[in-house]
Amino acid sequence: METTGVNVDQRKFWNESKGKSWVELQPNIDELFKPISKKVIETLDARPGEKILDIGCGTGDMSFNLSEKVGQSGLVYGYDISQPMLEFAEKRRKERNLSNIKYVEADLQTHKFNGDIFDALFSRFGVMFFEDPVEAFRNLRKIVKKNGRIVFVCWAERLENDWIDFPTAVASRFLELPPNPPEKSPGPFAFEDKTYVKGVLEESGWSSVNFENFTCSHSSGPTLEEAARFLGKMGPMSGPVEKAGIETREKFFSALGQELEKFKTDQGVMMNFSTWIVSAVN
């Protein structure tokens, strides 16, 4: 792993408690993102024999999907800065006996590639955390063949995403929350403004930038308690929740569960998720 001064906070964040938490929550997270994952994979349209780079591959769910699409004649490289998640992804790869996936721990904003050329770049919620996104996408463009493509999904407008709005509102009643980060700073909603994202991609040399808003309703958990505990550990409130005392945490989970009552259905706690599926060409 590079030891440059770039993305230091993000490396620390995803290699400590957050990375370990996402490993523990992997089944819940992959289930939560299932309809989004299906849509963005369809948009990429990976083909047999292609070589694809998975940006911010996390615990491996999407690289397994891509592996199936490209087949044994193709290859998937999964890159991430989180050692805990990469180790878990590698364990899962071995269990599946998949030989066409390789995982690499590296920061793609600064990583020096050794002549690798990819047919396509892909990411599920892995591109919003670069300290300098223009430099990152410029660095990535160097390794895509001419007319090669990039497809990624990122969160759209914050207020259209119930999963972030309600836990944050409840947490403010119980927890000491950090100040709101500067607009467009690295984080889940850094790319919610599509005009900004289009500018980043075009400035870094990509063309034919296209956006599709994909919104769906999906279960955050089968019960109110399970949904509250999952959302409290998965989202941006996970840091303050983890630092709080046990009594305060339990009060937060209980209050969040009550707030989620309005989303309870026979199919689970159904909440709204809004994303941008972004594509561009080199």
End-to-end CA distance of the chain: 27
Higher pLDDT, 186 or 276: 276
Residue 108: pLDDT over 60: yes
pLDDT category, 6, cuts 50, 70, 90?
low
Across the range 87-97, mean pLDDT stands at 97
Residue 1: pLDDT over 60: no
Across the range 55-76, mean pLDDT stands at 97
What pLDDT is recorded for position 181? Answer: 74
Residue 2: pLDDT over 70: no
Across the range 179-202, mean pLDDT stands at 90
What pLDDT is recorded for position 40? Answer: 97
What pLDDT is recorded for position 217? Answer: 93
Global pTM value = 0.92
Instruction: Report all structural domains of the chain as residue ranges with CATH numbers, in order of start.
Output: 8-157+183-219+274-281 (3.40.50.150)
DSSP secondary structure letters along the chain: ----STTHHHHHHHHTHHHHHHHHTHHHHHHHTHHHHHHHHHHHT--TT-EEEEET-TTSHHHHHHHHHH-TTSEEEEEES-HHHHHHHHHHHHHHT--SEEEEE--TTT---SS--EEEEEEES-STT-SSHHHHHHHHHTTEEEEEEEEEEEE--GGG-HHHHHHHHHHTTTS-PPPPPPTT-SSTTTT--HHHHHHHHHHTT-EEEEEEEEEEEEES-SSHHHHHHHHHHHSTTHHHHHHS-HHHHHHHHHHHHHHGGGGEETTEEEEEEEEEEEEEE-
Higher pLDDT, 174 or 39: 39
What pLDDT is recorded for position 4? Answer: 52
Residue 206: pLDDT over 90: yes
What pLDDT is recorded for position 3? Answer: 46
What residue type is assigned to position 60 of the chain? G
> What percentage of residues in the chain have a pLDDT greater than 90?
72
For 112-129, how does the pLDDT look when each residue is reduced to its tens digit (9 = 90+)? Answer: 998 779 999 999 999 999
| Average pLDDT over the chain, rounded to an integer | 91
